Structure 1
Amino acid sequence: MVDAVVTVFLEKLLGALSEESRVFSEFRDKFETLQSELQLMQSFLKDAERLKRKNEIVRRVMANLRELIYEAEDILADCQLQSRDDGLFSSGWFMCTNPFKLPFQYQTGKSLGEINRKIATIKQDILSYLGVPLLNQLEPINAQNDLMPRWSSPVYDHTQVVGLEGDASKLKEWLFEADKGILAIGVVGMGGLGKTTIAQKVFNDRKIEEHFDRRIWVSVSQNFSEEQIMRSMLRNLGDASVGDDKGELLKKINEYLLGKRFLIVMDDVWSLDVTWWLRIYEALPKGNGSSIIITTRIEKVAQKMGVKEARLHWPKCLSKDDSWLLFQKIAFAADGGECKHPELENVGKEIVEKCKGLPLAIKAVGGIMLCKPSRYHEWRRIADHFRDELAENDNSVMASLQLSYDELPSYLKSCFLCLSLYPEDCVITKDQLVHWWLGEGFIPLRNRRSAIAAGEDCFSGLTNRCLLEVVDKTYHGTISTCKIHDMVRDVVIKMAEDDAFFSTEGKNCRHLGIASSMAQKANHKLRALLSTTKTGEVNKIASNTAKKFCESRSLRAMDLSRSIFDTPLSGLLHQIGVLQHLTYLSVSNTHPLVQLPPSLDKLSNLQVLDVSYCQNLKILPPCIMTFKKLRVLDASHCGSLKYLPKGLGRLSNLEVLVGFKPAKSSQLEGCRIGELRNLIRLRMLGIRLSCCDEIGDTEVNVLVNLQELQHLSISCFDSHGNNDLTSKLDKLFPPQQLHELSLEFYPGKISPSWLNPISLPILRYLSLSSGNLARMNEKFWGNDNTVWKIEGLLFESLSDFEEEWERLQQVMPALRVVNVSWCPELVSFPIENVGFRGGVWKEEVHKS
């Protein structure tokens, strides 16, 4: 990924050279020489990337170049740290005579000169090897062409299934025939064939949901323990099962399932040693038509787990027609899922034929073509490259995934390699990925573009290429969590280890998951240290391990979320101030955390700070309000947090602020809500209110001029139906361009007057949950000329809400998705079309 490393470095260098700094002026000529050399080399680095997989000499040369770029990036970061003190050394004579500056000047100049000499030699070596004898035959590439994917938002439905309907129907027939004992069904086939997709389609089928009292999905994969399997089963049943031994876990599973008809899916089982399963199976209640589905690549595994020959299902590869249909749905998603370019049909079918009917391969190449221009010569180039990959590796899936990686824009290669840290079947949050990418500078930022929006575009760039699988979406369809297919993981780990991005052994790499072994010496190359635990699990970290976290001085990203420490975290991280390159810090859901370490005040480069779900955290240090680069501050779900410190309005780059608890007039050290009016770059805001004193009479207009604000959440938990707060909220007008609004625990009986289609003309998503709301304000219904443009609606736990559903539908003609639960007084809601899921009534409305 040398081309990716170079692209990221040049992006940072471009920003640094635009700064007016005496420190940079000392080395400007050397940095500019480095910049021009690397820009020229970009034009052939991608070819060299492919060659290095086949040639050891090119491989070594590229590895040396990568290390030099990382060294140059560290020097650049040190210069930026030095430039903070530029004002103290404003005169030339003081700059030259200061004993603290002289060693830095000398060493930096010497190092940059040496790097430039080595890079010039490497350039000539690569040029000679590639058969490019003259330097002037190459031109610097246009970086603008590589900045953003062609489609930067999701453009197709990730849940669509083609050609597997017959497989799913066959399995459902078997399930409905189950009677005595426990029916075992095996789905067997090679990787990428769609086994998991078939099982998911059956598992989520409405009739299957109604037929079974309990459904359990367990991702087994290659690395698992018997205890992990049991805990995963219990989490499916709503039990955290903390502190139980295996015997107690089995007893609990039996109690939850006793007398119930249940369906268990054991997905992706590899081990021929099934003693773990025999123990679990023995504890399961028998009868009632309960069933088990096992997906595996190995027939003998299914047989050992009790599947009879008559209940083994071998999915076939997709037919020629189904393969072309699936490819069209992805590659031409922007055209409605149909090829409208006759000149591309033949080459498209040639590409699909090479996929040999394997859905994962078809999705991968379809994702590539979706992000390419609809030009014949570009498609011909991809077809030829695919042919070459198949000549090296006859596995269509692996060849298509390798091609997907090769065709990624440089910056997306870095983002993609981040996936190598996560264990098998780990559910990954989009926010963690975006914050990490932002912290390491992987996201290209130009023209003061929103960093979070650019990060979300990168995320969509990977989902559109089918390199990420969707796990969960919000009620309005935004992807919130994802995972990667095990074959995609195989590819990304190989690429990451080849480029010293990540190592499964945790040695000599720049990125490490905390779930990996930490029993090692300090790694001074480390750039990122992240929690990568699976859903429902926590890291239990010993003190001697935690103390090593601050020894890697090059760290850019440190995420300790979902971790338990045996002593207070603030003490373990008392030296965190030495990590002055740190840009992303998350201590979300860590325990015990009562306060942040004092040396935090030295982390002036922080762009993301996440303290969410720290229930014992009572105060944030005032130094946070001096972090001018901060873009994300997440203090949500911090129940003990009294307020945020005064000075929040100075954080002019802030784009995301959630968990904002404004100070009362008597809390002089706290931040008043009025400071929000200065945060003109805010895109997402979450406010927590409990009394009217938190909003002054002159502060009710604080949100109106936040023109970038798209997502607003207001929670009035613990307000106890405060009428004075209701009157203040009625005047707290949001900006007109608001895209999404969430009101939780609203204290009033009637909705705010500003909640109407005239005041919020482009609102697309509305969520109302809990609280006292009974009726909508008359303005809510608009007039003959105005109706809502709302597409997604969520009503939850509104026990007094008694409006008519038909009237709501009339004023929301664009409504596509509805999620309604625990609203017993909602008049004329079509309950006959609703499925009962886990004690909650829900309806999904889909309109063309």
Structure 2
Amino acid sequence: MTVHIVSLVLNQLSVLLRDEAKLLGGLAQEIQLIMDELGHMKAFLKFAEAKEQDDPRLEEWVMQVQDVAYDVQDIVEEFMLRFGCNHGHGFRGHARKIITSVGNLQARHRIALEVQSMKSRITGISEGHKRYQSEYGTYGNVSASDPGNNSWQCNRDEALLVEEAKLVGIDSPKQQLICQLLDGCSQLKVVSVLGMGGIGKTTLVKKVQEDANVKRQFEILAWATVSQTCYMEEFLKDLIQQLYQGTGKPVPQEAASMNNTDRLKAIVKDFLRVKRYLIVFDDVWDVRFWDVIKFALPEGCCGSRVMLTTRIADVAYASDVEFHSYVHRMQPLSSEASWNLFCKKTFKNSSCPDYLKDVAQRILRKCEGLPLAIVAIGGVLALKDKSKVDEWKIVERSLLDCSDKLDRVGKILSLSYHDLPHHLRTCFLYASIFPEDYQIEEARLIRLWIAEGFIQGRTRMSQYEVARACLSELTNRSLIQLRDDSYDSSTRAYHIHDLFREIIVSKSSKQHFATTATGELTSWPKKVRRLVIHDFTGHTHRSICLKYLRSLVTFKSSEPSSKSLLSNLLRGGCRLLKVLDLEGAELEEMPDEIFKLYHLKFLSLKHTRVKIIPKSIGRLRNLEYLDLSFTAVSELPEEILHIRGLLHLVAYAFQHVTYEYDINGFNGFKAPNNIGRLLSLEWLFYIEANDASMMREIGELKQLKRLGITSLRRENGKELCSSLGRLSNLEQLYVQVSHKDEVIDLNYMKSSLSSSLENLQMLCLRGRLEKVPKFICSLQGLTSIELLWSELIDDPLESLQHLPNLQTMDLNQAYQGEVLCFKAGSFPKLEQLNILALSGLRWLSVEAGAMPNLLELGMANLKFLEEFPRGIQHLTNLQSLYLCHPNERLDAFLKNPFEDYQRITHIPEIFIWDDEDGWCRHPQFRQ
């Protein structure tokens, strides 16, 4: 993480020297020296952070660098606060007056002394850098993410820990993998086992390889542990030795001294060329390993197999392009299997005493089905006095620190953290701010990453796109799990395993990354940079200094005094605050202290009861993100136009809707006249379409990527289309009418205008349509479309079926006809389809070749559907079918198996909505 912090500070110093050289005066030379020293240390930091676990001196040195980098950042931002060019209008014309004023002369003197102090500290730290560099020698070839040489041993520990309890729940996945190995395919096939650390990948694959049927089918069996510190030459030599010794043949003499990777691969390939082999590569961390080792494996036609275990999705799927491949994603143990394994390890042949069940269940829930953790914790508790519940509660409170065995679990899981690139470490560490078992909304996490400065834009990629890629990488590495696999990122949520959360919370505390105020917290660190409020019930005192605070994030709380608490915190001198996320706070109005936060970039009042945004909002000249969603704010003052750098402006309230009656999905906000002056805006939703002039103003916002409009009237359609024709960067468009009888008229979008929407990916139209607008058919990049309350008379599929990249489609009260037919060749990339409340629909059919990639189908409130969809058996890739309020005919079809019932037996999961229990798996499809 320190590498990332130093990089950010170096960028700030570079900008300061470039833009403020005149104002810096004699300080410029001192700043350059500090910048040079930090730059020299940055390269060694990558090595030091990789080795600090093994050397406490390096760990201390890294913390010194981090502290001084933070202090340099404080000085830079204090300077910019007082003297920066953006301090009010007409500053450059009055620079001399500002510099020579008495107050600012004193401030310059103080800042100059602080710069001198920083230079002295950095010089001392630099001496340590030179000493360690000399001690450790050359470090340029060492991986920045190299956690040391103990990963092989950790992997062995993982396998042994899980093996101790003869893992339960292994039979079914074992048989699946054996079937893949012995499926009769004569070509080389790669079978990968994917999952987070400690989930039992090694144990499972070992059981598969040791199976008698498997052993009989392969002439050569080999097991090679790869690990993070794999040096290919040594690895190949070890593999050659194992292969030859396994057949009793002498190892070629030249192999031991050979240093040519290509020649070593040739030896392996020649040995395996006419043999049927099964080789396991255990614990693969890097796609590059597969890119190298594949050239040592003859494909042939002997039916050979390769198995990989990995925590990283990209590694598991790396062989998919060139070889027959199969990926088995390991799942956590079920609640029942977890309890059986826990009791087996903890109580041997006895059952859990009743008085221990509550604390045992709480401990087990933290394991979340992770076999490694269950076995390790069970082993610890087996040695505890069963009559002393307090001893068990101590384990519960400090799960990973109460024994060497549990400490080993933490180290095994930590390997994934230390394998991350430095910028991803910071992003993952930031997830420690969220409460336990919290569903982390993708949109909130990404916006906070950006506001904190963790994400840098790349060529042809916005910050938001880069952040999405970072989140995807953390998911691929099995560090976080997707909770809601919705195409709409505003509803997508993630979850962190409790044990991973304990690890990053511990690292966050140790590195002073964030301070969490929860319960009756009375002890505050000397320097609080990130403050997180989790149901804080204590009191803040005037003695608390928050002058270093950069971000303040709250989580929904029932605390009635949120405003006074917030005012007390903001009065703590936090003038450098950049991020203020008050989502869910019990606020009815904004504290005045907020408007003094000149540096504030991010302000969220989401899910508060705030009704009015004062004119003082215009003082926040550096604000880039303002979220007023799910508040009572209905109008914004004219002063919002003073914030020329505003990128995201989000304000709306959601109204519950029913399928049949209510047309109002969102209440937008009334924007001031001349909203078109906010030229930097990238997100704007939902804005009320008050009149034609407001629709024309939207056309001035050329940077818009997301636009939401409410209360649209038919007569404003022409102006809206004209403005849309000017928004070439638009990616998402939401349009909602003013009332249920109003018509969305977008037929003014001629081909010359619609061509500017080539980047549009998501389109949502809420309101009546006389027909599907023609321009939609030309949107080649469209991936998602929602038609709500359209009440079309003509079949909408005729217009939409040839969209080449459409992946999701929702039809909600969109069509009045009786027949809907998905024709052969239609919707080639559609993955998710929802058909809701088509009140006249009686027959639904699917021709062979339609929707070949459909994975999920949802149907709701189809009251008059005569029969189950014809041709549903053609949807061979369908994974999930959701039925909400099926009518009597559909319900009878599902309950009474007969010949046609075979049409749906290929669907792995069928869910029925229950008004009390929510989505329930259909009993005929329980696995």
TM-score (norm 1): 0.65
Give CA-to-partner distance per residue, 1:168-197, whole Å, 9 cap, x none. Answer: 999xxxxxxxxxxxxxxxxxxx994379xx
CA gap of 1:773–1:735, structure 2 versus 1, over 3 A, is: farther
Contact 1:363–1:466 under 8 Å retained in 2: no
Match of 1:502 in 2: 514
In the TM superposition, what are the counterparts of 1:105-254 in structure 2 within 5 Å?
105-131=108-134, 166=171, 192-193=198-199
2:676 touches 2:701 (CA, 8 Å); kept in 1? yes
Say if 2:362 is the partner of 1:342. Answer: no
Report the counterpart of residue 162 of structure 2 in structure 1: none
State the alpha-carbon separation in 2 of the partners of residues 165 and 824 from structure 1.
48
Measured after TM superposition, the shift of residue 795 of structure 1 is 1.8
Checking the alignment, whether the CA contact within 8 Å between 1:788 and 1:811 is kept in structure 2 is no
SS at match of 1:5: helix
What's the counterpart of residue 618 of structure 2? 601
Q: Distance in 2 between matches of 1:102 and 1:437?
A: 36
Contact between 1:793 and 1:817, CA under 8 Å: does it hold in 2?
yes
Q: Give the direction of change, closer, same or farther, for the CA distance of 1:26–1:620 in structure 2 (3 Å limit).
A: farther
Consecutive unaligned residues in structure 1, runs of 5 or more: 144-161, 171-189, 199-320, 347-356, 375-391, 666-670
C-alpha distance in 1, partners of 2:317/2:411?
18
Q: Is the 8 A contact 2:513 2:530 kept in 1?
A: yes
Residue 607 of structure 1 deviates from its aligned partner by 1.6
1:689 aligned counterpart, secondary structure: strand
- Displacement of 1:331: 6.0
**RMSD (CA atoms):** 4.4
Question: Which residue is equivalent to 2:553?
Answer: 530
Aligned to 1:385: none
1:584 and 2:602 are equivalent in the alignment: yes
Partner of 1:30: 30
CA contact (8 A) 2:197 2:416 kept: no
Shift of 1:576: 0.7
Check if 1:797 corresponds to 2:817. Answer: no
- Give the residue type in structure 2 aligned to 1:124: E
DSSP 3-state at the match of 1:530? strand
C-alpha displacement at 1:548, in angstroms? 2.3
Is contact 1:426–1:483 with CA below 8 Å preserved after alignment?
yes
* Structure 2 residue matching 1:672: 3-state secondary structure: helix
Equivalent residues of 2:796, 2:815 under 8 A apart: no
Q: Cα offset for 1:805? A: 2.5
What CA distance in whole angstroms lies between the structure 1 residues aligned with 2:460 and 2:615? 32
Taking the aligned partners of 1:26 and 1:90, their CA distance within structure 2 comes to: 21
Q: Distance in 1 between matches of 2:78 and 2:104?
A: 12
Greater shift, 67-76 or 51-60, is seen at 51-60
In structure 2, the residue matched to 1:282 is none
**2:337 alignment partner in structure 1:** none
1:668 match: none
The Cα shift of 1:425 comes to 1.3
Note the C-alpha offset of 1:92.
6.9
Residue type of the partner of 2:599?
A: H
* Partner residue in 2 for 1:183: none
Asked if structure 1 preserves the Cα contact closer than 8 Å seen for 2:667 and 2:710, the reply is: no
Q: What residue is the counterpart of 2:355 in the other structure? A: none
The amino acid across from 1:584 in the alignment is: F
SS of equivalent residue, structure 2 residue 493: strand
Matching of residue 560 in structure 1 with residue 582 in structure 2: yes
- Compared with structure 1, are the counterparts of its residues 93 and 584 closer, same or farther at alpha carbon in structure 2 (3 Å cutoff)? closer
In 2: Cα distance, 1:5 partner to 1:791 partner: 39
Q: Where do residues 330-729 of structure 1 align in structure 2 (5 Å cutoff)?
A: 339=290, 341-342=292-293, 364=311, 398-446=410-458, 449-475=461-487, 480-504=492-516, 507-508=524-525, 509-517=528-536, 519-521=539-541, 522=544, 523-533=546-556, 540-551=560-571, 552-565=574-587, 568-570=588-590, 573-591=591-609, 593-614=610-631, 616-637=632-653, 641-664=668-691, 672-692=694-714, 694-695=716-717, 697-716=718-737, 718-723=738-743, 725=745
Shift of 1:105: 2.5
Report the Cα distance in structure 2 between the residues aligned to 1:455 and 1:322, rounded to whole angstroms.
40
Please tell me whether the aligned partners of residues 746 and 770 of structure 1 are also in contact (alpha carbons under 8 angstroms).
yes
Which residue number in structure 1 is paired with residue 386 of structure 2?
none
- Return the offset for 1:845: 9.8
Pick from 741, 744, 754 the counterpart of residue 765 of structure 2: 744
Quick one: which amino acid aligns to residue 798 of structure 1?
A
Matching residue's letter, 2:674: G
Give the distance between the partners of 2:827 and 2:548, measured in 1 at CA. 55
Cα separation, partners in 2 of 1:767 and 1:61, compared to 1, 3 Å: same
Instruction: Using the TM superposition, name which of 518-527 and 549-558 deviates more.
Output: 518-527
User: Is this contact kept in 2: 1:17–1:28, CA < 8 A?
Assistant: yes
Aligned: 1:44 with 2:44: yes
**CA offsets 1:443-477 (integer angstroms, 9 cap, x no match):** 12355852222222222232222211100122479
Count of matched residue pairs: 625
Deviations 1:409-443 (A, max 9, x none): 22222211111111221100111111111111111
* CA distance in 2: counterparts of 1:796 and 1:36, whole angstroms: 61
Distance 1:753 1:513, change over 3 A: same
Alignment of 1:836-847 (within 5 A): 836-839=882-885
Amino acid at match of 2:820: E
Cα drift, residue 660 of structure 1: 2.3
- String of CA shifts for 1:101-126, please: whole Å, max 9, x gaps: 32233222332232122112101113
Superposed CA offset, 1:681-728 (max 9, x none):
222222223323545x55532112322222222222x33322485666
Q: SS of the residue aligned with 1:805?
A: strand
TM-score (structure 2 length as normaliser): 0.59
Taking structure 1 as reference, are residues 630 and 93 closer, same or farther at Cα in structure 2, changes over 3 Å only? closer
Whole-Å Cα distance in 1 between the matches of residues 785 and 281 of structure 2?
Answer: 35
Secondary structure, in 3 states, of the residue corresponding to 1:131?
Answer: helix
> SS in structure 1 opposite 2:555?
coil
* Distance in 1 separating the partners of 2:599 and 2:48: 31
- What is the one-letter code of the residue matched to 2:29? D
Displacement of 1:343 in angstroms is: 5.6
Amino acid at match of 2:129: I
Q: By how many angstroms is 1:516 displaced?
A: 4.6
- Aligned residue identity for 2:116: G
2: CA distance, partners of 1:48 / 1:141 = 10
* CA–CA separation in structure 2 for the residues paired with 1:73 and 1:140: 30
Checking the alignment, whether the CA contact within 8 Å between 1:686 and 1:713 is kept in structure 2 is: yes
**How far apart are the structure 2 equivalents of 1:743 and 1:579?**
37
Q: Is the Cα–Cα contact under 8 Å of residues 476 and 793 in structure 1 kept in the other structure?
A: no
Query: Counterparts of 2:694 and 2:143 in 1: how far apart (Å)?
Result: 47
Q: Hey, what does 1:147 align to over in structure 2?
A: none
The answer (yes or no) to whether the contact 1:367–1:466 under 8 Å persists in 2 is no
Residues 331, 812 of structure 1: alpha-carbon distance in 2 compared, 3 angstrom cutoff:
farther
Question: Does residue 1:822 correspond to 2:854, yes or no?
Answer: no
Shift of residue 544 of structure 1?
Answer: 2.7
Aligned pair partner of 1:88 in 88, 91, 108: 91
Worse-superposed segment, 641-650 or 721-730: 721-730
Instruction: Tell me what 1:186 maps to.
Output: none
Counterparts of 1:309-320 in structure 2, within 5 Å, are none
Distance 1:117 1:482 in 2: 45
366 and 736 in structure 1: CA distance in 2 versus 1, 3 angstrom threshold: closer
Give the 3 Å change call, closer, same or farther, for CA 370–4 of structure 1 in structure 2.
farther
Question: 1:89, 1:95 within 8 Å by CA — same for their partners in 2?
Answer: no
Asked whether the 8 Å contact 1:24–1:79 carries over to 2, the reply is no
Aligned counterpart for 1:812 among listed residues 803, 823, 827: 827
Contact 1:585 1:608 in 2 (8 A): yes
1:133-186 Cα offsets, whole Å, 9 max, x none, are 99xx8999999xxxxxxxxxxxxxxxxxx997855999xxxxxxxxxxxxxxxx
Partner Cα separation in structure 1 for residue 197 and residue 283 of structure 2 = 18
The higher relative CO (CA closer than 8 Å, separation ≥ 6) is in: 1
Aligned mates of 2:669, 2:410 — CA distance in 1? 53
Question: Taking structure 1 as reference, are residues 21 and 690 closer, same or farther at Cα in structure 2, changes over 3 Å only?
Answer: farther
Deviations 1:303-353 (A, max 9, x none): xxxxxxxxxxxxxxxxxx99969978x965xx9xx956426999xxxxxxx
